């Protein structure tokens, strides 16, 4: 680093001005705490800014808003509570334990805070990270890229799209494509059932008329300059066919934006690809919290926002002389789960956000019985009234863990009767 323009020392610095960061900022600033939000984009608000469809804000604001309007309200909420939001401010690394290096048009900054809250969110794996071979033509996007092209910059995409994945976000991609005049000719899912919510799946299949190829994957992209086709494989028969299209959207398959987590060497969960936190959202480094979809990639924006609200109380407790425990019971995702968040539990700690554990699952269960076991002994189980399905977060009440023994070693979560 060459020179420095300013040093800032707020009580709390929040990295990322999306739903969780802004909600935490608003709640903290409302209590008179000096909060600085660092947002690398020119506008705060995060992913909802370019998700131009309703359904945002149900759980946190108790209404259904379009993404951009929801983002505006969150920014307004944080600003009117007097949190400072710096946009075009990119955190490029750590200078010290709770000290960040920042680049912005206003200069190169150092921000040293009593508390750092990481709220950097998640991104979809692009085609390269999914290791899809073939030509490398134009016309291959992620949903994020597609939506910012269409909604923020009003650019054209193609006419015939294949959507890879059928998570909740995948249907959002279909809507965006339709708005841009591009028909989705096929959606592929590696699972036996399309993953997304019924609310999306039914209109998806009937109103949007999108054929879904289950147990399928895209094995090759064809086209030198522009996409011409993809090769789709049936995972059971291994038969491959060619589907003509000029656009491919790689949706879902989230990975946390964990660069700062890894650079700091915080305890890392290869399942979530985010930091390990406890129910108070404390990471393994004193004074560093993590919230939002960095912890559970990805849940809906409102759930991420409520993480922010939850964390604000924990941050206040810490600023008022709260402790920073260093050991606890690890929560482990057993089959058929891919991950569980939070990853650390201590009897007597605050409840997790919304009193729920978040899990990601590899197979569909209509009425799952979730079993918690410790040292080979079942210590709790809960049957949920809602299904567990791939492609979206599955939530379980955290009282499942009421009988955890603080000295009993890791707790494994599974589903009874899972294959």
> Residues 63, 226, 262, 377: which binds another protein (CB under 8 A)?
262
Task: Kindly list the distances between the CA atom of residue 78 and the CA atoms of 17, 18, 35, 138, 321, in Å, as whole numbers in the listed order.
Answer: 10, 11, 10, 39, 25
> Residues 63, 136, 226, 338: which binds another protein (CB under 8 A)?
136
Residues from 1 through 60 that contact another protein (CB under 8 A): 1-5, 40-41
Q: For the window 152-191, what string marks contact with another protein as x by the rule CB under 8 A?
A: xx-x------------------------------------
C-alpha–C-alpha distance, residues 135 and 223, integer Å:
6
Dihedral class, residue 37 (left if φ above 0, else alpha if ψ from -120 to 50, else beta): beta
Q: Note whether 121 and 294 are within 8 A (CB).
A: yes
In whole angstroms, how close is the CB of 2 to another protein at the nearest point?
A: 5
Q: Which stretch binds another protein (CB under 8 A): 64-72, 117-125, 281-289, 369-377?
A: 117-125
In this structure, the number of other CB atoms found within 10 A of the CB of residue 346 comes to: 16
> Residues 32, 107, 355, 409: which binds another protein (CB under 8 A)?
107
Q: Note whether 127 and 248 are within 8 A (CB).
A: yes
- Report the alpha-carbon angle 353-359-361, nearest 5: 160
DSSP strand pairing (99-104 vs 90-96): antiparallel
Q: Which stretch binds another protein (CB under 8 A): 61-69, 131-139, 162-170, 400-408?
A: 131-139
C-alpha–C-alpha distance, residues 143 and 170, integer Å:
7
C-alpha–C-alpha distance, residues 370 and 32, integer Å:
41
> Residues 54, 94, 126, 350: which binds another protein (CB under 8 A)?
126
Q: Which stretch binds another protein (CB under 8 A): 141-149, 177-185, 364-372, 404-412?
A: 141-149
Q: Note whether 10 and 36 are within 8 A (CB).
A: yes
C-alpha–C-alpha distance, residues 12 and 318, integer Å:
11
> Residues 224, 226, 338, 367: which binds another protein (CB under 8 A)?
224
Residues from 265 through 304 that contact another protein (CB under 8 A): 270
Helix or strand run (H / E) with residue 73: helix 67-80
Q: What is the 3-state secondary structure (H, E, C) of 186-219?
A: EEECCCCCCCCCHHHHHHHHHCCCCCEECCEEEE
- Quick one: 52 or 124, whose CB is closer to another protein? 124
**Does position 124 bind another protein by CB under 8 A?**
yes
C-alpha–C-alpha distance, residues 276 and 290, integer Å:
9
User: Starting from the edge strand earliest in sequence, which strands make up the sheet with 394-397, in order?
Assistant: 337-341, 356-361, 394-397
Number of amino acids touching another protein (CB under 8 A)? 46
Side-chain-side CA neighbours of residue 413 (13 Å)? 33
**Does position 199 bind another protein by CB under 8 A?**
no
Contacts 24+ apart (CB under 8 A), 154-159: 156/180, 156/181, 157/182, 157/247, 158/182, 158/226, 158/227, 158/245, 158/246, 158/247, 159/183, 159/246, 159/247
In whole angstroms, how close is the CB of 219 to another protein at the nearest point?
A: 6
- Quick one: 108 or 382, whose CB is closer to another protein? 108
- Quick one: 107 or 322, whose CB is closer to another protein? 107
> Residues 88, 179, 267, 349: which binds another protein (CB under 8 A)?
88
Residues from 241 through 260 that contact another protein (CB under 8 A): 255, 259
- Quick one: 109 or 344, whose CB is closer to another protein? 109
Residues from 342 through 401 that contact another protein (CB under 8 A): none
Q: Which stretch binds another protein (CB under 8 A): 28-36, 130-138, 187-195, 385-393?
A: 130-138
Q: Which stretch binds another protein (CB under 8 A): 145-153, 176-184, 202-210, 410-418?
A: 145-153
- Quick one: 7 or 63, whose CB is closer to another protein? 7
Applying CB under 8 A, the residues found at the interface with another protein are: 1-5, 40-41, 88, 90, 92, 103-108, 123-129, 131, 133-136, 138, 141-142, 144-145, 148-149, 152-153, 155, 219-220, 224, 255, 259, 262-263, 270
């Amino acid at each position: 680093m060459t020179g420095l323009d300013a040093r800032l020392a707020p009580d709390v610095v929040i990295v990322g001005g999306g739903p969780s960061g802004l909600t935490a900022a608003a709640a903290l600033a409302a209590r008179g705490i000096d909060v600085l939000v660092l947002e690398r984009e020119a506008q705060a608000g995060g992913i909802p800014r370019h998700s131009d469809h309703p359904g945002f804000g149900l759980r946190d604001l108790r209404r259904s808003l379009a993404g951009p309007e929801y983002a505006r309200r969150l920014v307004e909420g944080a600003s009117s509570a007097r949190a400072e939001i710096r946009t075009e401010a990119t955190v490029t690394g750590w200078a010290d334990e709770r000290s960040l290096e920042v680049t912005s048009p206003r200069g190169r900054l150092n921000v040293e805070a009593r508390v750092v809250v990481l709220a950097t969110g998640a991104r979809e794996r692009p085609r390269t990270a999914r290791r899809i071979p073939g030509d490398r033509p134009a016309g291959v996007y992620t949903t994020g890229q597609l939506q910012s092209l269409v909604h923020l910059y009003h650019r054209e995409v193609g006419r015939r799209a294949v959507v890879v994945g059928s998570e909740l976000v995948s249907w959002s991609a279909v809507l965006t494509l339709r708005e841009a005049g591009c028909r989705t000719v096929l959606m592929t899912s590696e699972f036996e059932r399309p993953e997304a919510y019924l609310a999306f799946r039914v209109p998806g299949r009937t109103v949007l008329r999108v054929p879904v190829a289950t147990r399928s994957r895209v094995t090759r992209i064809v086209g030198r300059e522009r996409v011409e086709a993809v090769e789709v494989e049936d995972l059971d028969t291994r038969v491959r066919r060619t589907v003509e299209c000029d656009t491919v959207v790689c949706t879902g398959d989230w990975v946390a934006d964990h660069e700062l987590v890894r650079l700091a060497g915080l305890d890392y969960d290869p399942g979530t690809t985010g930091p390990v936190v406890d129910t108070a959202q404390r990471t393994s480094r004193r004074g560093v919290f993590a919230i939002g979809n960095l912890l559970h990639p990805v849940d809906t924006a409102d759930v991420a926002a409520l993480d922010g609200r939850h964390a604000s109380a924990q941050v206040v407790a810490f600023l008022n002389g709260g402790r920073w425990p260093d050991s606890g019971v690890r929560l482990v995702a057993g089959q058929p789960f891919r991950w569980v968040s939070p990853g650390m539990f201590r009897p007597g700690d605050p409840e997790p956000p919304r009193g729920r554990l978040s899990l990601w699952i590899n197979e569909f269960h209509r009425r799952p019985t979730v079993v918690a076991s410790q040292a080979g002994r079942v210590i709790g189980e809960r049957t949920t009234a809602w299904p567990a399905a791939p492609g979206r977060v599955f939530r379980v009440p955290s009282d499942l863990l009421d009988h955890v023994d603080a000295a009993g070693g890791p707790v494994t979560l599974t589903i009874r009767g899972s294959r």
